[in-house]
Amino acid sequence: MDKFVVRGGNPLLGTIRVSGAKNAALPAMAAAILTDEPVILEGIPQVRDIETTRQLLAAMGAEVELGYGRAHHRTTICCRDLTSPEASYELVKTMRASTLVLGPLVARMGRARVSLPGGCAIGARPIDLHIKGLERLGAKITQEHGYIEATADRLRGGQIVFEKITVTGTEDLLMAATLADGETIMQNCAREPEVADLADLLNKMGAKIEGAGTPTIRVQGVEQLHGTKHRVIPDRIEAGTFIVAGALTGGDLNVSGCEPKHLTALLQKLGDTGVTVLQSTDAVRVIANGPLRACDVITEEYPGFPTDMQAQYMALATQASGTSVITENIFENRFMHAQELVRMGANIKIEGSRAVVRGKTELSAAAVQASDLRASASLVLAALVAEGETIIDRVYHIDRGYEHIEEKLRNVGAQIRRIGEILPKRAVPAVRA
């Protein structure tokens, strides 16, 4: 199992480039199910969740070409001959976003069989809202042997009011509604930029969607969709992770190829902590040349502070003077990184959905374990300022969503490398500067 070895102490200096958004690429790949023509997607990040989605589509009979190069990260997906409209437990258990195929499959094939995701490291993550929404569109849903089966001759437009805001739920039903008979009005939708990006793609495929990116989305169903080419938006969470890394290490870091307007809540918060943030059209420069001040954070749906940045912000809070109260509103049990940060010397108390971080604490290297994708990123960030050499185990979590993070960080001065072998107990190799 791969590990990262990180020696802390270097400020991050220079320019780091952001990849395409994993959370936009996943629904975009699922959207290819809606047509029998090829869909070409660019800006696809080279991360494990994309490979899982490739396997998922290929298992259904789709032709999926996936190639990475200097100029293009591109996939061409052709779902002309879908033979098996199914998402197996083996794949869904490793990536909950596999449920994104549910809506497109039932809309295009009239049938979908998708494994229930089961428990997840960051709390129970049900899909009841996807199911209720599909029922509103006329699908018949049954559950058997841990699988959801949805059938419909043709979905029909309907009114969907989400009881709770859900990102992939909004995306799943948006895709389903494109091929439904008549108009669908969805209310209390997620407003995340990835939802709007998916709607852009679907409209290029011939769908008739209005209002994506706002709480109310209207979809006029069409008979069929066609192929197209689309570039996914930059990854705002990867960008945010690097921006926090720059701030935390006392660096001067230019995060390029991002969309600063997708990062407003984070950038405002960093400004409050005393960091200088300079924005241009597609880059954010973060300059941290003074002490950090503690600031409270509450995670919210977009445009609020993203839950996917909570763990990284917690690493930053350990280096800020004063008490930061971090409230996690979106997921239960999303503080698993806190205990690992405590092992590195942080002062963090968990009180239900709040984490109280008292800083500034000197962090010292320890052997720590990644527990989920964003938690692993927070451990990398903490290790960048810890004294000594931190070994982070289970970095497969980080590989799910960050493209070559160690190379990118190394290029701006971090001392980080990946090791694949089990280390002998007392002979930890030194990191090269």
Token pair of 429 as six digits = 């190799």
CB of 168 to ligand UD1, least distance (A): 3
CB of 163 to ligand UD1, least distance (A): 8
* Neighbour count for residue 119 (Cβ, 10 Å): 10
Would you say 74 and 67 are in contact if contact means Cβ atoms under 8 Å apart?
yes
CB of 133 to ligand UD1, least distance (A): 8
Q: Which residue has the tokens 């190829």?
A: 257
CB of 103 to ligand UD1, least distance (A): 12
CB of 343 to ligand UD1, least distance (A): 24
* Residue number, 5 or 314, with CB nearest to ligand UD1: 314
- C-alpha to C-alpha distance for 350 and 357, rounded to whole angstroms: 9
Q: What radius of gyration do the chain's Cα atoms show? A: 22
- C-alpha to C-alpha distance for 255 and 286, rounded to whole angstroms: 8
Element (H, E) at 284: strand 283-287
Token pair of 65 as six digits = 């070409």
* Residue number, 253 or 314, with CB nearest to ligand UD1: 314
* Residue number, 74 or 96, with CB nearest to ligand UD1: 96
Exposure b/e, 20-44, CB count within 10 A at least 16 = b: bbbbbbbbbbbbbbbbbbbbbbbbb
CB of 93 to ligand UD1, least distance (A): 14
Would you say 38 and 16 are in contact if contact means Cβ atoms under 8 Å apart?
no
Would you say 2 and 405 are in contact if contact means Cβ atoms under 8 Å apart?
no
Would you say 412 and 13 are in contact if contact means Cβ atoms under 8 Å apart?
yes
- C-alpha to C-alpha distance for 83 and 398, rounded to whole angstroms: 33
* Residue number, 92 or 414, with CB nearest to ligand UD1: 92
Would you say 296 and 265 are in contact if contact means Cβ atoms under 8 Å apart?
no
* Residue number, 303 or 345, with CB nearest to ligand UD1: 303
CB of 328 to ligand UD1, least distance (A): 10
* Residue number, 246 or 401, with CB nearest to ligand UD1: 401
Using the 8-state DSSP alphabet, how is residue 291 labeled? P
* Residue number, 272 or 332, with CB nearest to ligand UD1: 332
Cα–Cα nearest to 200, from 189, 212, 190:
212
What is the binding site for ligand UD1 (CB under 6 A)? 23, 26, 96-97, 125-130, 164, 166-169, 194, 307-308, 330-331
Residue 261: partners with Cβ closer than 8 Å, 6 or more residues away = none
| Active site positions, annotated | 120
